[in-house]
A and B are shown apart, each in its own frame.
Chain A
Amino acid sequence: SAVISQKPSRDICQRGTSLTIQCQVDSQVTMMFWYRQQPGQSLTLIATANQGSEATYESGFVIDKFPISRPNLTFSTLTVSNMSPEDSSIYLCSVEDRGREGYTFGSGTRLTVV
């Protein structure tokens, strides 16, 4: 199955600043997904990132707040911009793992905004 390296694993940031989260996959994948998991909650899809095109954002999420890059088929970044305490969450990337017909997740980034 696909192996995803996600970093940073955690960070504490000042409000008003930005944080960029990186995900590296050990195989080429068409789509990468970015999720947010607020404390004690389920996973909510932020956007889907395809290589060579703009990301597709879900309702309630906008590009200015969560810009995404997808420069090649193994890498993507999610930036959380102009952060506020409400952005404190776990952010996870995911890929559709054709090898074992499932979806694999990165280890997550625990973000705390103070």
Chain B
Amino acid sequence: GENVEQHPSTLSVQEGDSAVIKCTYSDSASNYFPWYKQELGKRPQLIIDIRSNVGEKKDQRIAVTLNKTAKHFSLHITETQPEDSAVYFCAAVMNSGYSTLTFGKGTMLLVSP
């Protein structure tokens, strides 16, 4: 089945800096890659996603890039703010007859003021 590796496990940055979280996936059939933000005690919230026919997608301070050849995708957060502090999960969907998400292990992002 699909395997998603996520790095780093923790990331500390100063407010205003950029943060980058990287994920790799194993199955070339995967074609949908969402990113979720989970604040303490809350449900995961979709913040951005990308499909395999696109190389990059931006939404204000957040961007995601996808390299299908290398099978990796990255989340970029610019001008980080303390409220960006949370755990971020990447995921991949493998088309196996039904769509199930495989999650990375998560990255705890801490933005210090």
Contacts and interface: CB of A to CB of B under 8 A. Distances in A.
Interface of A: 31, 33, 41-45, 48, 50, 56, 92, 94, 96, 100-108
Given A43-B103, A92-B44, A104-B46, 19 more contacts: A31-B98, A33-B101, A41-B105, A42-B89, A42-B104, A42-B106, A43-B89, A44-B103, A45-B100, A48-B98, A50-B98, A96-B99, A102-B34, A103-B34, A103-B46, A103-B91, A105-B43, A105-B45, A107-B42
Interface of B: 32, 34, 42-46, 49, 89, 91, 98-106
A92 B101 CA distance: 13
Contacts of B98: 31, 48, 50, 56
Contacts, number: 45
A100 B47 CA distance: 12
16 contacts: A41-B105, A41-B106, A43-B44, A43-B103, A48-B98, A50-B98, A56-B98, A92-B43, A101-B32, A101-B49, A102-B34, A103-B46, A104-B46, A105-B44, A105-B45, A108-B43
Given A31-B98, A42-B104, A96-B99, A102 B89 contact: no
A101 B98 CA distance: 15
Contacts of A100: 46
A102 B49 contact: yes
Q: Closest 9 CB pairs between A and B?
A: A105-B43, A102-B46, A42-B103, A42-B105, A43-B103, A42-B106, A107-B43, A105-B44, A108-B43
Contacts of A103: 34, 46, 91, 101
Contacts of B45: 105
Nearest to A94: B101
Nearest to A56: B98
A96 B91 CA distance: 14
Nearest to A45: B100
A105 to B, nearest CB: 4
Nearest to B99: A96
